[in-house]
């Protein structure tokens, strides 16, 4: 029986869940000087690898915090190719190949100061935890289960249980953020529905170890492998560390329900095409879902990460969409706690992030279903002219339809916050949406574009702590009244003057106001006629 409640503590922000999203939010709040408490029911150990792929936008967030290099060092070696292969088996026939020269490594690109990387949660979560814990304002309570909460008199009163002592404690908070993943109960408490398809497919993952698996076949190193048999695309093989760790994904409810009955070694042999030395480490049943919460905010409670949206792994969006939530919510909570943010900050989180998640979850489902429904041929694996023709046909169809699964800079960097109550829309049309291609724009709501500065930094390195007014060109107009309007409302602002014609053209206006999350809030060639109205809008008070 649980012991009676003994202690009450108070925190500005209570984060439920110490997965990557909860830890990322704690890190962002710490970086902004805002105190928070994270309660995590587990002990931080991870038995089985989940997300591996960080897109360029997630890496930009890590860059802002100063941990991008740590993530790269911990992840796949920089020269490991992020290639995607479709095969009959590793020693069998190749059907299609996507090389992704823009992924991994450190070479400079024009669209971002960071490239997509591969660092599995096995290493990423501890990096996030250590970084978040480096801020003395962060309290992390491991092996502590969140039980319930009530909202009363402008505060949250939460009950948590210490799993070791059984002691029940009360934590009072100004705000509560549910980062407790797919099994969160907070939506139920609030009556928030998860809309979509709860079960698209049952799966089982087998985590195993083979050193330098590429030495046993002739297809070379690759990050992702998909295997086709006579029925279609069936198993997947994911490289985890660029060295010796692998994850085999198997479809089907029977496998999901009977992880102890499957012959993992036989499946590995079948996938390779011959017996090889290997060590099975663990297995994890999981369900592919298509779900988005119908609300992200209620009162003082926010949903983020898998608690707000769950998608199939096709495209590698789950963790990245959660990190996008962190980037959007962190500065808004800081603004509310520090007192310069207005009430529309709260509504703006849902207005900005929910449509992004709805688009991405649909994209992930479409990606997933295209491979699941792909017609195959009984002779797909055969060394016959009919087999070669079946592979040619399937390969052409895969190349035609699946580029947008593996090349997603447009989705990562092109997220545009239309219809946000805290963006000053200038009425210009958005660039045509593209999954594959990122189209830079300073249209309000868009991520402010990257360009290299003369001193080797990125324009993105100018943003983050408060608002940044980027003034472009030697003839940029006087902004002192605009700056005074920020000061009069207590909103942090810095000014960056750039006199580079290439960046001037990219930014397209003499003045671009960038929010702490790197998105454009307002732009113009002259200062606003009513600067206070703009400041009040972008701080959620107008």
Ligand X SMILES: Cc1cc2nc3c(=O)[nH]c(=O)nc-3n(C[C@H](O)[C@H](O)[C@H](O)COP(=O)(O)OP(=O)(O)OC[C@H]3O[C@@H](n4cnc5c(N)ncnc54)[C@H](O)[C@@H]3O)c2cc1C
Q: Which of 319, 337, 394, 422 binds ligand X (CB under 6 A)?
A: 319
| 512 neighbors 442 (Cβ within 8 angstroms) | yes
Of the two residues 89 and 310, which places its CB atom closer to ligand X in the complex?
310
Strand ranges of the sheet holding 84-87, from the earlier edge strand across to the other edge: 94-98, 84-87, 224-229, 232-239, 245-251, 194-209, 279-293, 309-310
Nearest to 12 by CA among 180, 175, 179, 149: 175
Task: By CB under 6 A, tell whether 20 contacts ligand X.
Answer: yes
Per CB under 6 A, contacts with ligand X among 411-470 are: none
269 CB-near residues (< 8 Å, 6+ apart): 275, 276
Rounded to a whole number of angstroms, the minimum distance from the CB of residue 318 to ligand X is: 3
Per-residue 3-state assignment (H helix, E strand, C coil) for 74-123: HCCCCCCCCCEEEECCCCCCEEEEECCCCCCCCCCCCCCCCCCEECCHHH
Q: Which of 37, 52, 348, 468 binds ligand X (CB under 6 A)?
A: 52
Piece of the chain touching ligand X by CB under 6 A; list 16-24, 401-409, 434-442, 530-538? 16-24
Q: DSSP assignment, residue 499?
A: -
Binding mask 250-289 for ligand X (x = CB under 6 A): ------------------------------------x---
Rounded to a whole number of angstroms, the minimum distance from the CB of residue 320 to ligand X is: 4
Task: By CB under 6 A, tell whether 16 contacts ligand X.
Answer: yes
Q: Which of 75, 313, 330, 524 binds ligand X (CB under 6 A)?
A: 313
Per CB under 6 A, contacts with ligand X among 203-222 are: 205
Of the two residues 313 and 527, which places its CB atom closer to ligand X in the complex?
313
Piece of the chain touching ligand X by CB under 6 A; list 20-28, 107-115, 251-259, 526-534? 20-28
Structure tokens at 346: 């709260």
Task: By CB under 6 A, tell whether 51 contacts ligand X.
Answer: yes
**Cross-strand bridge partners of residue 97:** 85
Piece of the chain touching ligand X by CB under 6 A; list 309-317, 414-422, 448-456, 490-498? 309-317
Q: Are strands 168-178 and 301-303 parallel, antiparallel or unpaired?
A: parallel
Q: Which of 15, 34, 36, 39 binds ligand X (CB under 6 A)?
A: 39
Of the two residues 177 and 538, which places its CB atom closer to ligand X in the complex?
177
H-type alpha helices, 167-293: 186-190, 253-257, 264-272
Give the interface size with ligand X as a residue count (CB under 6 A). Answer: 31
Q: Which of 305, 414, 445, 527 binds ligand X (CB under 6 A)?
A: 305
Task: By CB under 6 A, tell whether 71 contacts ligand X.
Answer: no
Distances (CA, A) of 183 to 16, 186, 287, 306, 365: 12, 9, 12, 9, 20
The phi and psi torsions of 337 (rounded to 5 degrees) equal: -70, -40
Task: By CB under 6 A, tell whether 116 contacts ligand X.
Answer: no
Of the two residues 41 and 403, which places its CB atom closer to ligand X in the complex?
41
Task: By CB under 6 A, tell whether 317 contacts ligand X.
Answer: yes
- Distance of alpha carbon 234 from alpha carbon 84, whole angstroms: 15
Per CB under 6 A, contacts with ligand X among 359-418 are: none
- Distance of alpha carbon 346 from alpha carbon 179, whole angstroms: 17
Of the two residues 18 and 527, which places its CB atom closer to ligand X in the complex?
18
208 CB-near residues (< 8 Å, 6+ apart): 245, 246, 247, 248, 264, 268, 278, 279, 280, 281
Piece of the chain touching ligand X by CB under 6 A; list 33-41, 272-280, 361-369, 396-404? 33-41
Q: Which of 75, 113, 196, 316 binds ligand X (CB under 6 A)?
A: 316
- Distance of alpha carbon 465 from alpha carbon 463, whole angstroms: 7
Of the two residues 447 and 523, which places its CB atom closer to ligand X in the complex?
447
Nearest to 179 by CA among 67, 64, 29, 14: 14
Indicate the SS3 state at residue 254: helix
Of the two residues 81 and 305, which places its CB atom closer to ligand X in the complex?
305
Nearest to 491 by CA among 536, 542, 425, 446: 536
Indicate the SS3 state at residue 433: coil
Per CB under 6 A, contacts with ligand X among 135-164 are: 145-146
- Distance of alpha carbon 497 from alpha carbon 377, whole angstroms: 61
Q: Which of 30, 113, 181, 445 binds ligand X (CB under 6 A)?
A: 181
Rounded to a whole number of angstroms, the minimum distance from the CB of residue 160 to ligand X is: 7
Contacting residues toward ligand X, per CB under 6 A = 16-22, 39-42, 50-53, 145-146, 179-181, 205, 286, 305-306, 313, 316-320, 322
């Amino acid at each position: 029986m649980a012991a009676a409640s003994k202690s009450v503590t108070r925190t500005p922000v209570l984060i439920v869940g110490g997965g990557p999203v909860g830890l990322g939010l704690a890190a962002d709040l710490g970086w902004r000087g805002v105190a928070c408490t994270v309660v995590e029911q587990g002990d931080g150990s991870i038995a089985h690898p989940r997300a591996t792929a960080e897109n360029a936008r997630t890496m930009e967030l890590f860059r802002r915090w100063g941990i991008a290099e740590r993530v790269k060092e911990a992840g796949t070696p920089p020269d490991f190719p992020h290639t995607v292969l479709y095969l009959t088996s590793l020693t069998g026939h190749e059907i299609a190949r996507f090389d992704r020269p823009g992924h991994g490594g450190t070479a400079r690109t024009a669209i971002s100061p960071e490239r997509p990387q591969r660092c599995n949660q096995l290493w990423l979560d501890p990096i996030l935890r250590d970084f978040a814990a480096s801020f003395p304002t962060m309290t992390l309570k491991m092996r502590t289960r969140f039980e319930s909460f009530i909202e009363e008199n402008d505060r949250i009163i939460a009950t948590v249980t210490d799993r070791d002592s059984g002691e029940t404690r009360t934590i009072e908070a100004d705000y509560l953020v549910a980062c407790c993943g797919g099994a969160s109960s907070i939506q139920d408490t609030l009556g928030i529905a998860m809309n979509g398809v709860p079960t698209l497919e049952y799966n089982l993952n087998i985590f195993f170890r083979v050193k330098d698996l590429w030495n046993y076949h002739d297809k070379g190193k690759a990050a992702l492998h998909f295997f086709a048999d006579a029925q279609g695309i069936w198993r997947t093989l994911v490289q985890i560390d660029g060295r010796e760790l692998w994850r085999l994904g198997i479809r089907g409810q029977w496998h999901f329900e009977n992880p102890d009955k499957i012959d993992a070694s036989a499946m590995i042999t079948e996938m390779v095409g011959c017996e090889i030395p290997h060590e099975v480490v663990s297995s994890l049943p999981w369900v592919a879902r298509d779900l988005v919460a119908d609300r992200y905010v209620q009162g003082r409670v926010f949903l983020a990460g898998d608690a707000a949206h769950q998608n199939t792994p096709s495209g590698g969006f789950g963790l990245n969409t959660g990190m996008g939530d962190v980037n959007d919510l962190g500065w808004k909570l800081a603004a509310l706690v520090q007192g310069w943010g207005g009430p529309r900050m709260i509504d703006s989180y849902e207005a900005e992030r929910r449509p992004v998640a709805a688009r991405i979850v649909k994209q992930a489902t479409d990606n997933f279903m295209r491979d699941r429904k792909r017609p195959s041929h009984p002779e797909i694996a055969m060394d016959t002219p009919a087999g070669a023709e079946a592979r040619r046909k399937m390969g052409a169809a895969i190349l035609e339809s699946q580029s947008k699964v593996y090349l997603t800079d447009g989705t990562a960097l092109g997220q545009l916050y239309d219809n946000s109550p805290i963006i000053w829309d200038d009425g210009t049309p958005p660039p045509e949406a593209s999954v594959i291609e990122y189209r830079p724009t300073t249209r309000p709501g868009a991520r402010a574009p990257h360009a290299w500065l003369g001193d080797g930094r990125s324009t993105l390195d100018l943003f983050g702590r408060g608002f940044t007014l980027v003034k472009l060109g030697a003839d940029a107009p006087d902004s002192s009244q605009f700056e005074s309007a920020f000061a009069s409302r207590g909103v942090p602002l810095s000014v960056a003057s750039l006199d580079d014609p290439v960046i001037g053209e990219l930014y397209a206006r003499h003045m671009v106001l960038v929010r702490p999350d790197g998105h454009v809030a307002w732009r113009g060639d002259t200062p606003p006629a009513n600067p206070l109205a703009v400041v009040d809008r972008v701080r959620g008070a107008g």
